[in-house]
Structure 1
Amino acid sequence: MTQAQNLRALLEQDTCHMMPCCFDALSAKLIAQEGYALTFMSGFAASASRLGEPDLGLMSYGEVVDQVNNITSAINIPLIGDGDTGYGNAMNVRRTVAGFAKAGCAAVMIEDQLAPKRCGHTPGKAVVSRDEAFDRIRAAVDQREALREKGGDILILARTDARYEHGLGEAIARAEVFAELGADILFVEAPTSESEMRDVCGALPGPKMANIVEGGDTPDLPIELLHEIGYSIATYPLTLMASAMQAMVTTLRDMRCGTRPDLMDFGELRERIGFDAYYEGSEQYASSRRGSGGQ
């Protein structure tokens, strides 16, 4: 099965999948090692990791696809990639979908924010007109179908941020049209209460995704309740990034004070990164055992 097919099979299950988000190959590898069924490359976290800059449209299409390539090469579970606004007009959206599919993504997210986009839980968001939003999703779906004709595949995750500027009704109306256009997964960003989340799931067909940002606008509800409300995926875009940053800052401060940091055992660290698997695989090659790359 392709990763797109794997994702479809997961979405058919009667559950809400907890989806921790990665930001690079190592964080994705850890998610897979801990038995999670799928992951998402968070644009917020990837921009912070790769550029050391906020998620305000600073990463280019090429940089994002490169990051996706690194991640899909390291894992064997479905990855959903953050395609932002598609990086231009409808034809750019088609190129984005094709590029993410070629890089091995199971799905790509396309949203209706004005470019440059902003994190969904920060102020100042604005969305494009309905017509432009619909053109983006129509183009994404058209490219998905073109890929299928050539043996490729990818799912389209359609996102709207209209709740912030225009209210929940407008966001639901946009998402309804996204579904009619053929989007595979719907994502209404930043509902602000459990009641709004129920309104979203009650009004929209097919799989829906909830975005849980600790300290953000959307309630951090238990996964069982999210399933009961009607969500198929609960994504946690900043949990690993925030945890890693907190651990690194704490360790740096402890080192200055002479305190021994609480570290992962060196043996486990090597094993999780892949040293043990490398050495085991290299046993069949004499030059690899010697560590020689030349004569």
Structure 2
Amino acid sequence: MTTPSSTATTAPAELRRLLDEPGMLRAPGVFDGISAHLVRRAGFRVAYLTGAGAVASGYGLPDIGLATATEMADRAAVVVEASGLPVVADADTGYGNPMHVVRTVRAYERAGVAAIQLEDQDFPKRCGHLADKSVVGTDEFVRKLVAALEARENDTVVIARTDARGPAGLDEALARADRYAAEGADMIFVEAPYSVAEVERIAAEVKAPLVFNVVPAGRTPVVPDADLERLGFRMAIYPGAVLQPAAQAIAAALVGMGGADPQVAEGPLGLFRAVGLDEWAALGERYR
């Protein structure tokens, strides 16, 4: 098992090597030490630090922008050390303006990640498969993206994610994807397309290495991995593939001990409600 310091410079190079190989790279979502260990033991070659999973499992919070950069960098260090794999790490919006993005990149690189994922949502962000998202202007996000690209010291892979499909439509999301690629993002991630036809259009029109988010019971339809690979996606991430069944197994174990059913429904919304989404939403409305 390796440490963050020993993987800091080698993890990005290993991820880039894997991305250059034929086929689509599959990255299961990890969120703590045991999930990271098990992904490695299962034979996967890369892991995805899911922001939603990290805040739900580590801090008991829904994915609505409540975690800090420090908390997420700490979780990144845990999964890097436990997995010994290249870790693709969710960094939400970068946790502030371009100066904050620089600090976030530095913290994530110290943790030893192979890639950092930044998105163009407004603050506070929301899970990409929840309603009522909003995005910042394209130029504003580009300033943050450029800050991330210039701040890295280890050739860390920078993934630019756009959440514009929901609030602004697919054409806007595609335009942003092209702009982010032109500005130097290593990979592009168009979040939450609504149909298979939209997935196909993203694959055909965005001229950059693409990431696909596999979220059962989310806004995006189920697309078999073989079809994603055929369409040319370079990497697929599975943020809830481990956490969702783990949460449901915990609920079943508690029921088996005579407890009430905690009711962890399928999909992101069900998981977030289990960790207080409705209560936090009420607070948001109260202080709006």
Q: What is the TM-score normalised by the length of structure 1?
A: 0.83
248-257 or 80-89, which deviates more: 248-257
Secondary structure of the residue aligned to 1:239 is: coil
Corresponding position of 1:238:
240
Which of 101, 108, 111 is equivalent to 2:119?
111
Corresponding position of 1:180:
182
- Unaligned ranges ≥5, structure 1: 258-295
Q: Does 1:80 align with 2:81?
A: no
Corresponding position of 1:213:
215
Secondary structure of the residue aligned to 1:256 is: coil
Corresponding position of 1:33:
41
Q: CA deviation at 1:252?
A: 1.1
Which of 132, 139, 146 is equivalent to 1:138?
146
Q: CA deviation at 1:129?
A: 0.7
Corresponding position of 1:282:
none
Residue type of the alignment partner of 2:239? P
Structure 1 residue runs of 4 or more that deviate by more than 3 Å after TM superposition: none
Distance (Å, rounded) in 1 between the aligned partners of 2:138 and 2:27: 29
Q: Does 1:128 align with 2:136?
A: yes
Q: Does 1:42 align with 2:44?
A: no
Corresponding position of 1:3:
11
Which of 157, 161, 164 is equivalent to 1:162?
164
Residue type of the alignment partner of 2:211? M
Residue type of the alignment partner of 2:72? V
Q: Does 1:64 align with 2:80?
A: no
Q: CA deviation at 1:219?
A: 1.7
Secondary structure of the residue aligned to 1:190 is: coil
Q: Retained in 2: the 8 A contact 1:198–1:230?
A: no
Q: Which has the higher contact order (CA 8 A, sep 6+)?
A: 2
Q: CA-to-partner distance for each residue in 1:183-206, whole Å, 9 max, x for gaps?
A: 111100001111111111111123
Larger Rg: 1
Q: CA deviation at 1:133?
A: 1.2
Q: CA-to-partner distance for each residue in 1:161-220, whole Å, 9 max, x for gaps?
A: 000011111111111111111111110000111111111111112310111111011122
Secondary structure of the residue aligned to 2:140 is: helix
Distance (Å, rounded) in 2 between the aligned partners of 1:70 and 1:92: 22
Corresponding position of 1:12:
20
Identity of aligned residues (%): 40
Corresponding position of 1:23:
31
Residue type of the alignment partner of 1:227? E
Q: CA deviation at 1:124?
A: 1.1
Residue type of the alignment partner of 1:210? F
How big is the alpha-carbon RMSD for the aligned residues of Structure 1 and Structure 2? Answer: 1.2
Corresponding position of 2:249:
247
Q: CA deviation at 1:19?
A: 1.5
Aligned residue pairs total: 251
